A and B are shown apart, each in its own frame.
Chain A
Amino acid sequence: MIDAQVVQDTLNRALTTGARFAEVFVEDRSSTAIRLDDGKIEEVVAGGDRGAGIRVFHGETQAYAYTNRLDPGSLEEAALAAASAVRDGGDRVEMVDLRSGPSAAPELPASTDVSRTQKVEWLREADDAARAVDATVRQVMVVYGESRQHVMIANSMGDWTEEVRPRIRLFAQVVAVRDDVMQTGFEGPGALAGPEFLRRRPPSATGEVAARMAVAMLDGRPAPAARMPVVLAPGGGGILFHEACGHGLEADLVQHDASIFRGRLGETLASPLVTGVDDGTVPGEWGTNAFDDEATPTHRTVLFDGGTLVGLMYDRLRADGDGVPSTGNGRRQSYAHLPIPRMTNSAILAGDARPEDVVASTPHGLYAKALGGGQVNPSTGDFVFGVAEGYMIEQGKITGAVRGANLIGNGPQILAGIDAVADDFGVRHGICGKDGQGVPVSNGSPTLRIADMTIGGTDA
């Protein structure tokens, strides 16, 4: 992407004020987005973005400078800007040697021969399938998004990697209307892959799932405002895990003494049924990369093992601080962002209960078939997530739909309160936001039950 000599010179320039570490991150990304809305292909957007970020560590301070320009002069300017931010370090000059050449990530089999005509056709298929579900389907929006992010990272430790990351996602949002009730449904599978992924996950199925959700919720009555057991469908528990403890186990928050999980490694905090991992290596998964955004190979990190907290997620800076290796969780939205510890593909692993038995053994509770996103306050551990499609469970049977509920709980308490984990498994895909940066993540889990949780409906 960039001449080896230029990379080396840039790193050397960045080290001139005595930084203990310097890094160059170069990115070239091309994206295509096609939107169908209101029955029409409304817009087709093709774009390119490129830039480089130069980072240095000086003690615990990071200085970062980024630019869109990749010519040697602009890279030098950015390196000097980063270096001058930590200029109290004297004039120690350490030369970087990158002669060994970059380690390339394995090439992914992403086909580029899918025509725009085919992509447009996929959107129409999703739209048709959604509208065919029921006459109450009023509006359908389908967005096709693909990107190809070419990343090169080199640092003064001699790490040098290059990776091409193709990503694809097709998202459908459906509005169903009956009388004066309007409800929505959505579905949005994604992958680290090229457009051929949509041959395995047909757009028509995505449109249909979204439409069925919207139509089902038209029958919903207002959700209760009360505490009760909650059964989460496959994948939903992954979103819970992400919010209930995932963010609190990202090492920046722990090191800042701002996480409720600080100083609790080795303690049994969750139910013994809970084994949870973060795994950036799952082939083709939405949150997967070969290397993280700091040239560290991605990794499978066990966070909870049979209920015991055993791991944290690290980027390079925080790993240095704790004297441990990075777990390959240093991620950034783009060259315009500093890497921070982030989840990749996080999951609660399957247990051995049968999903139908989990529901059948619940006398009264809520069945959350689909969840929206959530949010956590990592300092208190209190978190919420939205139920996009929910039903009441009565006498062990899933009954009528309920709508308009967020669930709220406290991370450690909810993890301890998981009292059934089934042997199925499902994954949901999303964009996780932290410190103003969005990165693709997946959340996986089997069907599971929380013994007692607050349902934030309107029916008090």
Chain B
Amino acid sequence: MSENAGVPSLADLCARAVRAARTGEGVEAYAGGGRHVDVRVRAGRVESLTSAETRGVGVRTVIDGRVGYAYAADPSLDEVDALVDAARQSAAFAEPDEFNVLPAIEQAEPLSGLYRETQELVPAERKVSTALEFERAAVSAHPDVRKVRSASIADAVSRVAIASTRGGPVTYERTDCWASVSAIAERDGEMQMGFEFALARELDDLEWEPAARGAAERAARLLGGEQPKSERLPVVLDPGAATAFLSVLAGALSGEAVLKGRSPLASMVGQSVGSPALTLIDDGRLPGGTGSAPFDDEGVKTGRTLLVEAGVLRGFLHNTYTGARSGRPSTGNAGRSDHRSVPGVSPSNLSFEPGTLSAEEILRQAGRAVYVQDVTGLHSGASSITGEFSVGATGLVVEGGALGRPLREMTVASTLLEVLSGVREVGSDLRFFPMGGSIGAPTILVGEMTIAGT
């Protein structure tokens, strides 16, 4: 957001909120704003071009251990005062909890490369022409792929400021740019869809060509699929499918779920929860990570948290509240979707540590197995509370050490702990996906899961 003359900066808005605090009150303000452009193309034409400039402020008050929250879009300085009042009134209805405390805010070391001024200067015309080229690349990558559901190039410049009665303001800015495409393959009246994406800090670094080819290949290889027989088989999870699984596990690793009896891992710290091949790390300062930031969404410096080490559970992710209630420091994992939400616990860049085998080598070791390319119905079919999951899947048969005929209309089911302990190989091809934070996994071979089909 251009910090125009006459328009208060995000840091000014936060500072104003803090000044409105009365003696003994904790007041925190989070201000976010940015510019966003999204170009969608289809059939060689621009379908839509969206441009936006928005900002907002959320105020949290902590008064005698009671939390109140209020937010507004683009408030003036006077409206910020009213927000503090609204949050104060809300707090009166909440119940006190001694662990409701605001963290000390200190200047965190900046992360280099998070913001690229060059991206702010990219003209809309170039985004449009790139989007058109991107779609052309997808529809010329495979003879069975002649159209896309949509292809898009988008970018965002985002700025965040946080201040509280315990410090700040601290600020950062970032640029993000992404390409995504759903390619449609078609043969004999049957259609299949393949999704791919690419992420970067700026358009010049965005590797959209492999994404275009990948989407086409992923769609085309599913054509002619059949429903498999129901049976228990080894499963090879594609990095995207493994990430979907990890996103469910992430819910069980949240300090909040643990404290509130909603995690099957709650009492297992120090115990083996999975195969020795598994190490799981959250790294909020990962260079180039889309979930990286110098501080989390309540101003606490981000860091690196070892969650599972060679199969042994080492800990959970925390924000200030869940940390305080668990008797440990925040891990810098306070997260909010934007200024409208109270901080919860979110992964930053959460991933399995990659192994040494390539995806091809894993396929050679798998024996007769099912390769899962995409999963659907994750929000209804997988629970981080019960640990049970059953998701729809498309994929391919693995036989003779390679991918064979396609499979459709199947489900893959197991429990989180069974999958973790059943992991036989972890690949070297780690890839991050934007799924409620940035979550990454390589290709993973799991000993056995239930495939349901005919």
Contacts and interface: CB of A to CB of B under 8 A. Distances in A.
Interface string A58-69: 011111111111
A160 B294 CA distance: 47
A192 to B, nearest CB: 22
A44 B392 contact: no
Contacts of B387: 182
Residue of B150, B342, B409 ringed by the most chain A CB atoms within 10 A:
B409
Contacts of A377: 193, 376, 394
Interface string A244-279: 000000000100111010000000000000000000
B413 A65 contact: no
Contact of B147 (A38, A139, A226, A257): A257
Interface in B382-416: 383, 385-392, 394, 408-415
B142 interface: no
A64 B149 contact: no
B386 A184 contact: yes
Contacts of B385: 175, 182, 184
Contacts of A409: 409
B304 interface: no
Given A45-B69, A45-B70, A375 B95 contact: no
Contacts of A406: 377, 380-381, 390-392, 411, 413
A65 to B, nearest CB: 5
B380 A380 contact: no
A48 B59 CA distance: 12
A99 B312 CA distance: 71
Interface in B306-355: 340, 342
B262 A120 contact: no
Contacts of A380: 190-193, 408
B124 interface: yes
A47 to B, nearest CB: 4
B94 A455 contact: no
B51 A81 contact: yes
B45 A61 contact: yes
Interface stretch (A89-97, A294-302, A308-316, A381-389): A381-389
A457 B191 contact: no
B129 interface: no
Contacts of B262: 139, 175
B199 interface: no
A408 B410 contact: yes
A388 B383 CA distance: 11
Contacts of B184: 257-258, 379
Interface stretch (B71-79, B357-365, B422-430): B71-79
Interface in A418-459: 454-459
Contacts of B408: 380, 382
B8 interface: no
A459 to B, nearest CB: 7
Interface of A: 34, 37-38, 40-51, 59-69, 81-82, 85, 116-117, 120, 138-139, 141, 175, 177, 182-184, 223, 225-227, 253, 256-258, 260, 336, 338, 371-377, 379-380, 382-386, 388, 403-406, 408-410, 454-460
27 contacts: A43-B68, A43-B94, A44-B94, A47-B58, A47-B72, A50-B74, A62-B48, A64-B51, A65-B51, A68-B54, A184-B383, A223-B390, A256-B147, A257-B184, A338-B48, A373-B380, A375-B380, A377-B394, A384-B380, A384-B392, A408-B409, A408-B411, A410-B409, A454-B411, A456-B381, A456-B391, A458-B413
